[in-house]
Chains A and B, each alone.
Chain A
Amino acid sequence: MRIAVIGAGPAGVRAVETLVAAGHRPVWIDEAREGGGRIYQRPPQSLRRDARMLYGFEARKAEGVHATFERLAPVVDWRPETLVWHIRPQARRLSTQHQGRTQATVDYDAAILCTGAMDRVVPVPGWTLPGVTTMGAAQIALKTQGCSIGARVAFVGTGPLLYLVAYQYAKAGVTVAAVVDTTPFATKFAAAPGLLRGGATFVKGIYYIGWLRAHGVRVVEGATPVAINGTTDVQGLRWRGSDGREDLVACDAVGMGWGLKPEAQLADLAGVPFRFEPLQHSWIPECDTSGRTPVEGHYLAGDGAAIGGADVAELAGARAALALLQDAGQSVDAVRVAALDRALAGQQRFRIALERAFPYPAALAASVADETLLCRCEGLTAGELRAAAREDHDVGPAPEMNRAKAFTRVGMGRCQGRVCGPAAAEVLAASLGRDVASIGRLRGQSPVKPMPMLVPEATP
């Protein structure tokens, strides 16, 4: 049986581990040079440091994932630096490109997509300036390159990553100008009982906030970002406090992020239906708790299925592999399946509380000012998108997201709406006076990332 696993983050590593244990030798593909995925992304060889330094509390887990990866890579068909740019679910064929050059197709009988996630952002005036990055980018710079995104960094957004990254920066000796959380304290407080289920994860979260405050870092809650000041680079971050007063800190870089969203373009191309998940306030591909999608032979695991964090990704990767084995008629350890299901169910309750504690600020996204750049690929402002929703729009109003894309080019650029998609949907829905779940979503298209046209082989 030919099995393909895409992604070598925690989900992919545990999926492959389970498949190998059952006697399979899957094709394993990742764009990255090595396994680890996002949270456990490793610095290049020449920059390797102590895991404790790189991954903090998660060092043990990181080492576990890395060691497993290193054990597995030689015994499977491991294909690093290889982008899967298309998937054909009927033909069961992947199109891949190695190092931006060599094309290859991979035929499979079953595939597990463990494609991970990226940051979800809300456009703020000035957010395209050099010096503004996602929260994840700020962490990757530090973790894998030993760099901070600036000398005096402000963080704005919400979610656990906000406090974690600020903490990591401050620990590394970077001046953290401010941590501006769009969620009010009361919202988080209300979710606290559920968060307690998160056990250690919750305690760590509290610890980061406490540490930051104790070290004199300014932490603001319930704030509304107003602008990132600067013309060619970042000069400061402005926000409005919960009391309505505007405030400003000087900084030379800003990290922003409001949680994560699945990188689900391949699931989309694989024909997996999507549904709007109200709690995550996000479109996610449909699969059951063991990762089975409605498209036979196709499984999802980890953040690419729904945002669950690294621990869930490890569990889900193993669980999806077991589902695949079960469906292929192989016998699996029922006790292990039950244990995984229990652990996943427990995590799910914690995730629900976490989403309640740090909700996506839909109203903020919907009210992005007209002049603010919304789609950074196509250079399109929020006002231009709003115009397309109006009755007097010259070709009629766009009633849903893909029509808005067709009219305005929103999400039509290099990133295919990965960055602007969520905010654009809020802007359009608000303009139409409709619920965001009712206006559709931007679809993934092949190639899932830009692909260079190659010089044709010289004909003899």
Chain B
Amino acid sequence: MKLQRVRDANRPGIALTLDGAEIAAQQGDTLLTALLAGGAGSLRRSEFGDGDRAGFCLMGACQDCWVSVAGVGRVRACATQASQGMKVTRG
């Protein structure tokens, strides 16, 4: 899934990593936006072998966008602000 920045797309940049790979994002992004606009494609993998997931409801209800942030723990990507230097792992 590739989120497209269609408005206000020139905010100051921030950098984070997903599973070690660099992700370029912008201030004001949620973690979900940062990752999916930054080319991550997906956020987690279903435990039961039916593929990758990238969130679904964006309002904290579907529970399908959990990721891990170093030093913070597991968070819903849709409801967490991205910040400079965050180290994120899928799932």
Contacts and interface: CB of A to CB of B under 8 A. Distances in A.
In the complex, A touching B, CB below 8 Å?
A: yes
A145 B33 contact: yes
A412 interface: no
A373 B6 contact: no
A418 interface: yes
Closest 3 CB pairs of A and B: A379-B48, A130-B54, A414-B63
Contacts of A137: 55-59, 78
Contacts of B81: 44
Contacts of A373: 50
Interface residues of A, number: 55
A106 interface: no
Interface of B: 1-9, 11, 27-30, 33, 36-37, 41-43, 46-64, 66, 73-75, 78-79, 81
Given A44-B81, A136-B58, A172 B53 contact: no
B13 to A, nearest CB: 12
A369 interface: no
Contacts, number: 146
A118 B58 CA distance: 10
Contacts of A136: 57-59
A417 to B, nearest CB: 11
Interface stretch (A148-156, A279-287, A429-437): A148-156
A100 B11 contact: no
Contacts of B58: 133-134, 136-137, 140-141
B78 to A, nearest CB: 8
A381 B62 CA distance: 17
Given A47-B28, A128-B46, A130-B41, A151 B4 contact: yes
Given A47-B28, A137-B55, A147 B61 contact: no
Given A133-B56, A147-B4, A150-B4, A418 B62 contact: yes
A418 B29 CA distance: 26
Given A130-B52, A150-B3, A233-B41, 19 more contacts: A44-B81, A100-B75, A118-B62, A128-B53, A128-B56, A129-B51, A133-B56, A140-B58, A142-B6, A145-B28, A145-B29, A148-B3, A149-B3, A376-B46, A376-B53, A419-B56, A419-B62, A449-B60, A450-B63
B10 to A, nearest CB: 10
B77 to A, nearest CB: 12
Interface in A1-60: 31-32, 38, 43-47, 49, 53
A148 B2 CA distance: 9
Contacts of A449: 60, 63
Contact of B56 (A32, A134, A148, A252): A134
